[in-house]
Structure 1
């Protein structure tokens, strides 16, 4: 669980990103150091940019300064390899909660330098003091960070959700909780992922924008790697009430419900796995369980393969 100072940094980045129309999605903590993903889409719904963000919050990160740069040194070999080989563009954001100074830098082979003039084992990044997170100049730079072909953009989208796929693959559980204003067409949803990795349960807001589109069509687009099923505990009371209304008769004399149609078990089998509970005719509420579909399982296999060093070494002919 992130401490108070770290939460301040994440909160500030969320606020600034949202003010420039980025969808900010916090990620489960891992040792790679990706704290969030930022995505921005065009009015048509077409993705425009997707970034991975590491956030460092605290005045201590600003102690070492040189030639109008803050020197960021908290980088290990594994992080260097991850950031510089990742098809998803990565940036680091430094935030000082005492002054609200917030700056950023790309994480690439050009910006990450080795210590001892390239001969050391450590790494550092020079973060420009005047590269503000976030203003109009930085917005333009972030949007032009990369110009990848569509198939790589699609791969990056799956890559941004890999940690959720891995949690499910390792036996954890992820639920999708969402509320839809069914009489509005803005497409902006209030959605969160409830992630149980076997040790802790944490909620992650997951904003998106699909105007004029039903949520039942949105969910497979936002999570194309998942199969969806209803959380039976969440829907139990509503399902039973509807079943009694349409398939039962209440006998007042004997004070009991008599089944005149399908049994409750047969009735539940006929229900859509992607259903909602409608509140006051205005808000549809969903609670769905995500499981890996064939795409999700295949993606994890492919990603594992392409992430290995020298993946072709075992198929090269030997010198003998």
Structure 2
């Protein structure tokens, strides 16, 4: 794609962009990244499921060979040891019966019958709930707890997001900084500070700009769709002799992959950037945004 805005750094030569389409079965035609590979020449990577229909671009799947087992004459339906473990588990999970309700309530946790942990799979562990006998509790809450911990780490700035393709990569640490960097085997890591966080400066910026945007759902409920945060005091720009600054836009993005994150950076004006971060994880905290767009972990 050519005939872009004339580039002052290349004798007013028109800007140009190469658009790369990549097969991704779960994508919804979203932009993965926008990078300036050379001066005023850009590269846009777009994820789309449409390419996956073509045999040259679809994901290659490894063949799965079925295994058929045939029992010998007189063999049990399952291993004898497994049958024994199933019987032990049934005995352990039976509720305690007593002559009175009060005696049942007085069963102490340390008096519960011992449980053979090897009788359970790795996704189920025995637990004692209150005064009841030990029961098997599945790990259905592990992913939820993991998401909560991930959100806490993200909002504390200890978990940073990375993105970008081509020469420059991006690092975003919430409430800390936005970095643009390039790693070289010989010269090491070259870091450019695009913006640093200062809550007072952001609040001043939010009073003059839209820091929180809403979306009206089909059921009539108004939900926060996007929040914008201002990061200033970046490295001084050679072209403007002013510090770089960036507006970070955190957007809720529904996806079949709950931990998918899309990070891209735009430069609408010289050394003034827009960093887009889109993920289903962000959907969980956007409704906690206050009037300045600041997020918090919901209790």
| TM-score bracket for the superposition, by shorter chain length | under 0.3
TM-score scaled by structure 2?
A: 0.24
Greater helix percent: which structure?
Answer: 1
Greater strand percent: which structure?
Answer: 2
TM-score scaled by structure 1?
A: 0.23
